[in-house]
């Protein structure tokens, strides 16, 4: 199951990660060097400005958020 979830995340992330190994996905998308902060009743993920995988992660989060809900 973890393998299938990893493949789905890699496909949704794009940016050349669709053929990446699970170790690469862990290093690029899952081990995020950011901080989760709570301010004004909202949670925000603050990433470093020079982190090379920021576009891939933000695209992945946007695509996952826009998936249709199934009942």
pLDDT at 11 over 70: yes
CA distance 31 to 17: 15
Gyration radius from the chain CA atoms: 13
Give the residue extent of every domain in the chain.
Answer: 2-65
| pLDDT > 90: percent of the chain | 8
Can you give the pTM of this predicted structure? 0.65
| SS3 readout for 30-55 | HCCCCEEEEECCEEEEECCCCCCCHH
13, with CB counted inside 10 A (0-12, 13-18, 19+), is buried
Can you tell me the distance from the alpha carbon of 58 to that of 53, in angstroms, rounded to the nearest whole number? 9
The arithmetic mean of pLDDT across residues 9-20, rounded, is 84
pLDDT in tens, 29-53: 888 788 889 989 999 988 888 888 8
């Amino acid at each position: 199951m973890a393998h299938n979830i990893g493949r789905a995340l890699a496909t949704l992330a794009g940016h050349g990660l669709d053929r990446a190994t699970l170790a690469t996905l862990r290093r690029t998308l899952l081990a995020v060097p950011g901080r989760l902060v709570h301010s004004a009743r909202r949670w925000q993920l603050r990433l470093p400005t020079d982190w090379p995988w920021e576009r891939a992660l933000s695209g992945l989060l946007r695509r996952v958020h826009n998936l249709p809900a199934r009942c």
